[in-house]
Structure 1
Amino acid sequence: MKPQAHPTLILWVLASLLMLAGCASPSLEDYRNRQPVLVPDQFFTGELSARGVVKDFSGEVIRTFDADISASWTDEGVGTLDEVFRFDDGEVQTRTWTLTPVAEGYRAEAGDVVEPGLMQWQGNAIHMNYVLRVPYGDGTLDVRMDDWMYLVTPDTLINETTMSKWGIDVGEIVLVIQKK
């Protein structure tokens, strides 16, 4: 008779692997000395354009899009990013971000963001993690967005976002944002 693993042992091994995978994530500290330096209220100012792809859980590109972003800041340091996304299937989405200064960076809120994010940055990188409510079938789905942005030239930023539900990666968004 073949011995079988105890269910508790299997769960413990899976939990350990998930924790180890989480430890392998990059840290903002890793980008502290990278150039060019990314300062949100300097890059996200004026008119910007973006082009990108949406990938499913397997990495297959399922949509493409372009976007226009109009960004401004108040004298108190509060930022507004008005975004208009146009997808290849004809769908148009809008989102208005409000970036409010807090001790750790910016509190990032938008109408379809059900759990606001904290935008932090060092060197050439920004990290933000939040929950976005997205249309899905006849309803909506709340998806965790793990957002990393990297300034590669003073006018060009690459944005990679991992989408997950219940801790499982369900897709990815990759886009390039450029100052106009």
Structure 2
Amino acid sequence: MKRITTLFLLSCTFLLSSCAAPDVEYYQGSQPEFNFKQFFSGKLKAYGVVQDFKGEVTRKMVVDMNASWDGNNGVIEEDFVYDDGETQRRVWKITLNTDNTLTGTAGDVIGIAKGKSNGSVFHWQYTLKLPYGDDTIEVNLDDWMYLVTQSRLINRTAIDKFGIEVGEVTLVIEKVE
């Protein structure tokens, strides 16, 4: 009986650890090298979908972005247009640190977003206030950006509430020449 219990616990540990996302350090040396400031400069455009917890697409969006920098302090303006006609604006204030970490704030972000890049990947996490009916709800976002080319990246964001994934956002972001 003791062996069965031990085997069961080891199996559960293996299954739980295999579900965890890799650390950003896993991507060290991957190419092309993701330089946040270089990519998020000037005009960008994003196209994306929002999926619910079942994987069903609930919304589509197009986002116009404009990013500017003063040294290591940046501003990224995002103007969202959803397929149902709703619009939304978010203005990020970004600080790049010398150790490849980044912090950011925005009007609908609770506290400070914290992230780090390594290789071709950038990962950050933050809590966001989302409109919900006549009120708002707080959700946690786990945001992964994968640089595909110097002018295009794929952004996947898991949306969690109480530690349970309730949705996902997928975006393709392109630099506009």
Question: Which category describes the TM-score, using the shorter chain as reference length?
Answer: 0.7 to 0.9
Hey, what's the Cα distance between the residues in 2 that align with 1:138 and 1:22? Answer: 39
Out of 164, 168, 173, the residue aligned to residue 172 of structure 1 is 168
Hey, what's the Cα distance between the residues in 1 that align with 2:121 and 2:111? Answer: 22
- Unaligned 5+ segments in structure 1 are 1-12
Q: How does 1:15-94 map to 2 (within 5 A)?
A: 20-21=16-17, 24-75=20-71, 77-94=72-89
Hey, what's the Cα distance between the residues in 2 that align with 1:129 and 1:82? Answer: 19
SS of equivalent residue, structure 1 residue 38: coil
**CA shift in 2, pair 1:170/1:21, >3 Å:** farther
Hey, what's the Cα distance between the residues in 2 that align with 1:25 and 1:93? Answer: 30
Out of 122, 128, 143, the residue aligned to residue 147 of structure 1 is 143
Aligned length: 165
**CA shift in 2, pair 1:118/1:165, >3 Å:** same
- Unaligned 5+ segments in structure 2 are 1-8
Matching residue's letter, 1:82: E
Percent identity, please: 45
Hey, what's the Cα distance between the residues in 2 that align with 1:23 and 1:115? Answer: 27
Out of 104, 113, 128, the residue aligned to residue 124 of structure 2 is 128
1:96 maps onto 2:96 in alignment:
no
Q: Which residue of 2 aligns with 1:5?
A: none
Hey, what's the Cα distance between the residues in 2 that align with 1:23 and 1:168? Answer: 13
**CA shift in 2, pair 1:172/1:21, >3 Å:** farther
Matching residue's letter, 2:57: V
Deviation at 1:172, TM superposition (A): 0.1
Matching residue's letter, 1:87: Y
Hey, what's the Cα distance between the residues in 1 that align with 2:58 and 2:111? Answer: 26
**Stretch moving more, 167-176 or 97-106:** 97-106
TM-score, normalisation: structure 1 = 0.86
Deviation at 1:23, TM superposition (A): 6.6
- What's the CA shift string for 1:118-163, capped at 9, x where partnerless? 1210000000000000000110000000000000011001000000
Deviation at 1:21, TM superposition (A): 4.8
Hey, what's the Cα distance between the residues in 1 that align with 2:173 and 2:32? Answer: 15
Pairwise CA RMSD of aligned residues? 1.9
Out of 141, 152, 155, the residue aligned to residue 159 of structure 1 is 155
Matching residue's letter, 2:86: E
Deviation at 1:106, TM superposition (A): 1.4
